[in-house]
Amino acid sequence: MSLFKRAGKMAIGGGADVAKLEARIAELEAECQQSDAAIQRIEKVCLAAAAGDLEARLIDIPEDGPGAQSMHALNHLLDMTDAFMREARGTLKAASEGRYYRRFMRRGMLGSFGDGAVDIDNARAEMARMEEASQAQREDMAKRFETQLSSAITNLLDLSETMENTARRMFDEASQALEKTVAVSAAAEETSSNAR
């Protein structure tokens, strides 16, 4: 039965009904004040959370007062959001430090929170895979560089040995030519002295 119908029935009954009506109006006004106070408390915590304070909570919530269920729901939402943010921060910080084994703890993460947790964990795993691939590529490049460097050193050693052999052969040939020149010079001197 609506408030107006009840008020109309009470007014028909006389003065006693007026007192009941006034009492009911006082009850409703008190409930409105409690609801306004609850809304103001909820608004204060929502504004704090919107400003980045995910630790703001509603405390001293009446058991079954106006807005009690909404207050508990808001606290739960903030708990879920805070837990998600802490886990995301921890997982991503560890990944940025190369500690890819640190997974997102998904227990209790429902709906979009759970989807976000899966996305972050997949990104962490992809970062680990990319780091491993990059490491393998660096190792492969280092091995190729080592092989090329070793080949270049071997070629230089072979070239050095060839140059040493050529220089030795040229030295030997020059020595033989010098010996022949000395012998020819000595023979020419002897012939010249015999001719005098």
* pLDDT tens column, 64-91: 878 899 999 999 999 999 999 999 999 9
pLDDT, tens only, 138-166: 888 888 888 887 888 888 888 888 888 88
How many domains does the chain divide into? 1
Number of Cβ atoms within 10 Å of the Cβ of 80: 16
163 lies in some domain: no
Quickly state the pLDDT bin for 2 (edges 50, 70, 90). Answer: low
Task: State the residue range of the domain holding 89.
Answer: 1-98
The DSSP code for 61 is -
**What pLDDT does 9 receive?**
56
138 lies in some domain: no
**What pLDDT does 192 receive?**
76
Across all residues in the chain, what is the average pLDDT? 86
Question: Which one is predicted more confidently, 187 or 72?
Answer: 72
**What pLDDT does 84 receive?**
94
What is the mean pLDDT of the segment spanning 35-62? Answer: 92
Question: Do residues 100 and 94 touch, judged by C-beta distance below 8 A?
Answer: yes
Quickly state the pLDDT bin for 5 (edges 50, 70, 90). Answer: low
- The size of the chain, in residues, is 196
Cα 70 versus chain centre, distance: 35
105 lies in some domain: no
Question: Do residues 10 and 21 touch, judged by C-beta distance below 8 A?
Answer: yes
Structure tokens at 175: 């020595």
Quickly state the pLDDT bin for 190 (edges 50, 70, 90). Answer: confident
182 lies in some domain: no
136 lies in some domain: no
124 lies in some domain: no
**What pLDDT does 185 receive?**
82
Residue 14 scores a pLDDT above 60: no
Quickly state the pLDDT bin for 6 (edges 50, 70, 90). Answer: low
The whole-model pTM stands at: 0.60
What is the mean pLDDT of the segment spanning 44-56? Answer: 93
144 lies in some domain: no
60 lies in some domain: yes
Distance CA 160, CA 167 (A): 10
Q: What are phi and psi of 191, to 5 degrees?
A: -65, -40
Residue 179 scores a pLDDT above 90: no
Torsional sign, CA 8, 12, 13, 15: positive
